[in-house]
Amino acid sequence: MAHSETLHISTAGNTDILDLTTEVQRVVRSSAIETGQATVFVIGSTATISTIEFEPGLVNHDIRAALEKLAPEAGRYLHEETWHDDNGHSHVRATVMGPSVALPVVGGIVPLGTWQQIVLIDFDTRPRERRIIVTVVGD
């Protein structure tokens, strides 16, 4: 059995981090699948799906600071020279983190830790309308 839904999420770009946990859990519950796997995938090459503790220190500073060290916004990117845009760092950050997560489904939910949330991180340099596909398979 499989169930899939597409979430439509507006972002502010520039490492905007949004909590998707409630929506993902809603999709998993609506699937009626008790045991299986949920995949959460963002369409696009400048965003990622991950899990973090969704708290102000991480969301507003720590994640951004770590990624700035890894792929600095002001760095030189041949992508920008090729396409004459400003988001080479966005592509690098998204590639390092990946576009999706695979999560277990147990008892009809994704069993997350107390401080663990499912997040969308949009690295692009402008606001975007993102499509996130949540697919649940099992039973």
The kind and range of the H/E element at 89 are helix 88-97
List pLDDT tens digits, range 112-135.
Answer: 999 999 999 999 999 999 999 999
Q: Which pLDDT tens digit goes with each residue over 57-116? A: 999 999 999 999 999 999 999 999 999 999 999 999 999 999 999 999 999 999 999 999
- Domains of the chain from N-terminus onward: 2-138 (2.60.120.460)
Which candidate, 133, 68, 61, 117, places its Cα nearest to that of 96?
Answer: 68
The pTM assigned to this predicted structure is 0.96
Strands 2-11, 128-138: pairing is antiparallel
Cα(19)–Cα(118) distance, rounded to whole angstroms?
Answer: 6
